[in-house]
Structure 1
Amino acid sequence: MALIESLHVFKPALDRAIGGDDVAVGPARTIERALARALVHYYPLAGRLAFSESGEVCVDCGNAGVWFTEAEASCSLEDVDYLEYPMMVPKDELLPPTPAGEEERELVLLVQVTAFACGGFVVGFRFSHAVADGPGAAQFMAAVGELARGAGGVSVEPVWGRDAIPDPAAAVIGSLPDPAGAKRLEYLAVDISADYINHFKNQYNAEAHAAGGAWCSAFEVLIAKAWRSRTRAAGFEPDTTVNLCFAMNARPLLHASLPRGGAGFYGNCYYIMRVSAPAAKVAGSSVTEVITSDYRTLLVSDWTRLGFAEVDYGWGPPAHVVPLTNLDYIATCILVRPWAHKPGARLITQCVTPDRVAAFHEGLLDLN
C-alpha cells in the first residue's frame, strides 16, 4: 500500500490572505492548526490501515492522529533553485519521516512543513493511496487551506461512501519488472508551451473536423507525443507490443451511485485503462494518428486539474508541485502544471534508460 509522496513549493508572499489570530503566525503553525481542524471532518485520515476478518483493507479510526513535522532551512528557496530537478536538497529532508514504533504500511497521512530563510516554505506530503485518490487528496488539502485562511468551516463536506463504489473488474496492466534485473530509468522534466500544444491540437482538430470527428484535448496531445517519442527512443523491435496505461476518473460515470452525486467523495474512484499496439505502428505514425488510436474515445482524466495547484494556505497557491517517484525501473509519465502557473504543461517522465534520454527529449520537442 504505497505512500504517494509530493512536495508543494510556496514562494514568500508579501500579502497574506489569513484572517483572525493567525496573521503573525508562520506557515508551520498555521497549517498544523488548520490540519487539526480539517481532521475533525476527515477523521479517517487520522486513523491507521488494518485488515478485516475477511482480509479487506479498512481504516481503524482510533486516536493515533497524523504525524506532523516542522523543519527549518537556513537557505532561501532561490538558493536551491526552488527544488527544480536535480534537487539540491535530498527529498528525505523535506518529507516527513516514518515515526518510531509505527508500521509504514499502516500509515494514512504524514505532513512536514519546512520554512526557508526567504519566507517561503515547502509542504511535504506522504499520503496512502489505499484511502484516497488524487482528487480526494487535493480535496482534503484544499479544506486545510481554507481553514488556514480563516474560514469557519469546510466548504465541501466530505463523504466516505465507499460502499457505493461497485467492485471493478480486475485491471489488466501486466507484470511489473523484476527490480533485480531491471534497467534504471532516467528522470526528465520538460516544460511544454501552450503554442506547442495548440500546434498539434489545431492540426488534429482540422483533420477531425473534415472527417466529422471529435476534437482532442491537451492531455491527448501530450500523452500521444510522449508515447510515440518513448517508443521510438527505446528502440523496440517492430513487432513488440507496447502498452499505454492511464488512470480514468470514474466519478462522472458513478455520480448516480455516489452519495450527493459524488460531491465531497474523497475515496478511490478511478480505473486503470490500457491501450496496446505494435511498436512499429506507434513509432511510425504521426502524432495525430496516435491521438486517433482507440484510447481517444475513453474518458481520460487530466491530472493538471486535480486541484493541487490551487491549494492556498494563506500565502497564495504553490509555485509548483513536485510529484516524487520511488521506483526507478517502472516507466512513468506525470502531467503537472508548469512552474508559476505559466501557460502550457510540464511532463515529468522516467521512461527510458540514460543512454536513450537525449533521443527521447529530442523527439518530444520536435513539431512533427
Structure 2
Amino acid sequence: MGIEVRRMSRSYVRPAAATPAGSLELSAIDRVVGLRHMVPSLHVYPPRGGAGEGQLQQQSPATVVREALGKALVDYYPLAGRLVDGPDDGPASARVECTGEGAWFVEAVAGCSLEDVARLENYPFAIPEGDLLPDEAPGVEPLDLPLMMQVTEFTCGGFVVGLTSSHAMTDGLGAGQFINAIADYARGLPRPRVIPIWSRGELVPNPPKLLSGPLPVPRMLKLRYHTVDLSIDGIEHAKSQFLQSTGQRCSTFDVAIARLWQARTRSLRLADPSTRVSLGFFANTRHLMRGGASATAGFYGNCFYTVTVSAESGAVVGADLAGVVAMIRDAKARLPAEFARWAAGERVEPDPYDLSFSYESLFVTDWTRLGFTDADYGWGTPSQVIPFAFQPFMPKAIIGAPPAPKAGARITTQCVEEVNLTEFKDEMEAF
C-alpha cells in the first residue's frame, strides 16, 4: 500500500507589505533560452529532540514558513511577479512584471514518519517525489511563475520543503540566498542577514549576441537514475595523490567530477579513442563582475559562465585520476580571461550560453555551496537536500552532500542509458 500525502491547502502567498510595481528587465544571462525552466528540489528536516525557535512559537512548520515567505517576498518582490515573454523573440527578451500576485504555496501532510520512508535517503523513495513537490497553480503557465513551495509535515514532527524555482530568475546561489531569507524571518529576525539587490543591468554585461538562428532539436535520451557516495577517505587520498604528482592542491569538486567523467567515459566504450568527449559545468562569476565580489553581495540573478573541458576519449580513459583533475583545473584557470573576452563582446566559440548536448557530453552542477543546507526555519538545518534538475536530452550529474552526519560527496546522476549503466556503476564504486 502506498503512503498517502494529502494536500490540505493551496494558495498564493503575497508580499506582507506593499511592493514596487512595473517591469524589470532580466540580464543577458537570465534571458538564455535554455534557462527558462523550473528547478525542483526537496529539503528534508528530521524531527529534533529539543525545542527549536520555531517549535517555541507553537506553530506548525507550514504556518511558520508561509508567514516568513510573505515577509521575504517584500524584499524579493520580483519573485512575487510573473515572467512575461517579449513581443518579438519570446523568451529571449523576457522580463518580469512586478504584479505582487505572489508565490504558489501548498500545505500537505504525510500519513507516516520520516523513518517510515528511510528519511528519503535512498532512491527510489517510498513516496513519489512528485507528491512532495508543489502541484501546478491553476490558470497560470508554469514557466511564468517564479516560485512554488510545498511544506509536507510528517507524523514524527519532521517535514520536507519542496521547492520549485525558475532558473531564469535565480541561479543556485541566488535561490539559496532567498531560502535563507525565508529562514531568517522564520526564526524571528527583523530582516534577512543578506540584503538582496536586483542590479541586473548594472552588474551583468550585455554583449551583442554573436550567434543566431533556431536552437538545435535535442536528441531525447533514456537516461537512468543512479546515486553514488564518495567517501571522505577516498577523496582525501585522491587529493594527496594530486598534490604529490603536481605540487598543487585540488578541491573535492575537482576530484568528484574527474572520477565521474572518467568512469562515465570508460563505461561508454567508444570504439574510436580519438572521439571527443566533453565535460561542462557552470562557474560562479560574481567576483569577475563590475565592482567585484563586494558589489555583487546580495545579487541573486544568474551570474555564471560555462567552463568546458574537451579531450579525446582515449586520453580520459587512460589517464590516472590526477591527470583528469589537471585537465579540469586547466579549464578552470582559463575562466577569467574567457569571461572577460565574452563580456567585452569578442567572439567566443562555442557560445558559452548556447548549450548543446550529445551522448558524448556530460554536464555537472555543484550544489554543495549554494547555502540550502544552512536554511534553519527554527527546527535546525536540513539533513539533506535532494535536487531533481534533470532533462532527458542532457547527460547530467549533481554533486551534493550525503545525508548528515555522513561525510564525503553524493553524486546524483542521470547520465547513461541502460546499456552502459552496469559498467558505469562498477567504475564509480571502484573509487
Q: TM (normalized to structure 1)?
A: 0.91
Q: More deviation in 109-118 or 337-346?
A: 337-346
Q: 8 Å contact 1:320–1:341 — kept in the other structure?
A: no
1:297 CA drift (Å): 2.5
SS at match of 1:25: coil
1:58-97 maps to which residues of 2 (within 5 A)? 58-83=95-120, 84-97=122-135
Residue 84 of structure 2 corresponds to residue 50 of structure 1 = yes
Name the amino acid aligned to 2:372: F
Residue in structure 1 matching 2:49, options 14, 17, 25: 14
Q: 8 Å contact 1:171–1:272 — kept in the other structure?
A: no
1:104-183 maps to which residues of 2 (within 5 A)? 104-163=142-201, 164-167=203-206, 177-179=218-220, 182=221
Residue 246 of structure 2 corresponds to residue 227 of structure 1 = no
Give the whole-Å Cα distance in 2 for the aligned partners of 1:35 and 1:282. 46
Give the whole-Å Cα distance in 1 for the aligned partners of 2:210 and 2:70. 36
Per-residue CA deviations over 1:160-199 (Å, capped at 9, x if unaligned) read 0000200368799x956322xx3x1111111111101011
- Structure 1: 4+ residue segments shifted above 3 A: 52-55, 168-172, 174-177, 298-303
Instruction: Identify the residue that residue 307 of structure 1 maps to in structure 2.
Output: 371
SS at match of 2:255: helix
1:364 CA drift (Å): 1.7
Instruction: Identify the residue that residue 251 of structure 2 maps to in structure 1.
Output: 217
Alpha carbons of structure 1 residues 175 and 279: separation in structure 2 relative to 1, 3 Å: farther
Q: 8 Å contact 2:42–2:132 — kept in the other structure?
A: yes
Q: More deviation in 241-250 or 353-362?
A: 353-362
SS at match of 1:355: helix
Q: 8 Å contact 1:47–1:62 — kept in the other structure?
A: yes
Give the whole-Å Cα distance in 2 for the aligned partners of 1:332 and 1:315. 33
Q: 8 Å contact 1:191–1:338 — kept in the other structure?
A: yes
Give the whole-Å Cα distance in 2 for the aligned partners of 1:235 and 1:170. 38
1:255 CA drift (Å): 5.4
1:183-222 maps to which residues of 2 (within 5 A)? 184-209=222-247, 214-222=248-256
Residue 353 of structure 2 corresponds to residue 316 of structure 1 = no
Residue in structure 2 matching 1:253, options 272, 281, 288: 288
1:299 CA drift (Å): 5.3
Q: CA RMSD in A?
A: 2.2
Instruction: Identify the residue that residue 418 of structure 2 maps to in structure 1.
Output: 354
1:153 CA drift (Å): 1.2
Name the amino acid aligned to 1:24: Q
1:264-303 maps to which residues of 2 (within 5 A)? 264-293=298-327, 294-298=330-334, 303=367
Alpha carbons of structure 1 residues 119 and 255: separation in structure 2 relative to 1, 3 Å: farther
SS at match of 1:72: strand
Name the amino acid aligned to 1:328: P
Per-residue CA deviations over 1:299-327 (Å, capped at 9, x if unaligned) read 59853111111111111111111101342
Residue 136 of structure 2 corresponds to residue 102 of structure 1 = no
Q: 8 Å contact 1:50–1:57 — kept in the other structure?
A: yes
Give the whole-Å Cα distance in 1 for the aligned partners of 2:64 and 2:332. 44
Q: 8 Å contact 1:17–1:149 — kept in the other structure?
A: no
Per-residue CA deviations over 1:108-145 (Å, capped at 9, x if unaligned) read 00000000111111100110000000000000000100
Residue 61 of structure 2 corresponds to residue 27 of structure 1 = yes
Give the whole-Å Cα distance in 1 for the aligned partners of 2:381 and 2:210. 35
1:8 CA drift (Å): 0.5
Q: 8 Å contact 2:204–2:290 — kept in the other structure?
A: no
Give the whole-Å Cα distance in 2 for the aligned partners of 1:67 and 1:193. 38
Q: TM (normalized to structure 2)?
A: 0.78
SS at match of 1:248: strand
Per-residue CA deviations over 1:51-76 (Å, capped at 9, x if unaligned) read 34565111110021111000001111
Per-residue CA deviations over 1:261-299 (Å, capped at 9, x if unaligned) read 111000000111211111111111111111111325255
Q: 8 Å contact 1:11–1:120 — kept in the other structure?
A: yes
Identity over the aligned pairs, expressed in percent? 41
Q: 8 Å contact 2:200–2:301 — kept in the other structure?
A: yes
Per-residue CA deviations over 1:73-94 (Å, capped at 9, x if unaligned) read 1111111122220111112211
Name the amino acid aligned to 2:387: P
Give the whole-Å Cα distance in 2 for the aligned partners of 1:255 and 1:305. 22
Per-residue CA deviations over 1:230-279 (Å, capped at 9, x if unaligned) read 00001123121111010010111115167x51110000001112111111
Give the whole-Å Cα distance in 1 for the aligned partners of 2:390 and 2:74. 31
